[in-house]
Amino acid sequence: METSELLKKVRHIEIKARGLSQNIFAGQYHSAFKGRGMLFSEVREYQYGDDLRDIDWKVTARYNRPYVKIYEEERELTVMLVIDVSGSLTFGSSIMIKRDMVAEIAATLAFSAIQNNDKIGVIFFSDEVEKFIPPRKGKKHILYIIREILSFEPKNQGTEISVALRYLTNAIKKRCTAFLISDFIDPDDYKQSLRIANRKHDIVAVQVYDKLSTNLKPVGLMKVKDPETKEETWIDTSSTKVRNEYSNWWNKRQIEMHNAFRQSSVDYVSVSTDEDYVKSLLQLFQQRR
């Protein structure tokens, strides 16, 4: 991608994502993703209805009348975007390819995090961790992340979600909120890694898929190419048996993915490239409140 084209695309995503995060997501995001706990703020005189457990006995003894401690939420979070950059994300049959939708979703989440004064970092992964951007704050950092999302070229084309989850578990020492954004087309089982990662961190999964991937249209002989293995083959889409086998494969894979999320207590949402991801993200935020 040429520099001028990249900058134009960055600007477009910045305007859209910033508007969404300011006007729609800011309050929902704040409610859905809590801080690490409560910090002591100040003391004041006891009022009827205050919790007796909050009484500050040292100040009470000093002034001979009861005082209570006041706390406020420790709001700052560390947010990690764990982004799939494998070959299958380059597919798209509708308005946009999966990778472009991943970029918009990631940018919107990043701006929402910054609006709430959270740190934001990124892990790009294929079948290995391709790049790690440590969490920081600030607009300059956000724009750098968006540029990387749009222009990053992975060395490998395969997918191994477990590799990314193990890296997240080991690299980020304190508890964070991690958005795992992928199409979840992974030949390997990632349930155990997901369960372990979600014990330490708060994992939220966002599946991006294309409707054409869910079933085959009867258009006759079709040459298909696996974007990750580069393997090519001919299939007869006019065959009811072939279409049913493909549909069964897709449904089985979706069930396995949903079971992995449920068994690991991971909140998730699935978004098609021809759908409005704003509505889906809002639903995800609301179910966590």
**Segments making up each domain of the chain, as ranges:** 3-32+80-287, 37-74
**According to the model, what pLDDT value does residue 129 have?**
97
CB-CB neighbours of 287 under 10 Å = 11
Between CA 5 and CA 13 the distance in angstroms is 12
**According to the model, what pLDDT value does residue 190 have?**
94
Task: Answer for the pair 81, 123: CB distance below 8 angstroms, yes or no.
Answer: yes
Task: Answer for the pair 172, 201: CB distance below 8 angstroms, yes or no.
Answer: yes
**According to the model, what pLDDT value does residue 259 have?**
94
What superfamily would CATH give domain 3-32+80-287? Answer: von Willebrand factor, type A domain (3.40.50.410)
**According to the model, what pLDDT value does residue 39 have?**
45
Between CA 81 and CA 50 the distance in angstroms is 40
The one-letter code for the residue type at 113 is: A
Residue with tokens 């294929």: 126
Strand partners, 137: none
**According to the model, what pLDDT value does residue 200 have?**
94
DSSP string, 251-269: HHHHHHHHHHHHHTT-EEE
Chain-centroid distance of CA 25 in Å reads 14
- In order along the chain (289 residues), what is the average pLDDT of each group of 10 residues? 63 67 58 52 77 86 86 68 92 78 86 81 96 91 85 90 96 92 92 95 94 81 72 83 87 93 94 88 79
DSSP-derived pairing of the beta strands 177-182 and 232-236 = unpaired
Q: Per the structure block, which two tokens stand in for 238?
A: 């006019």
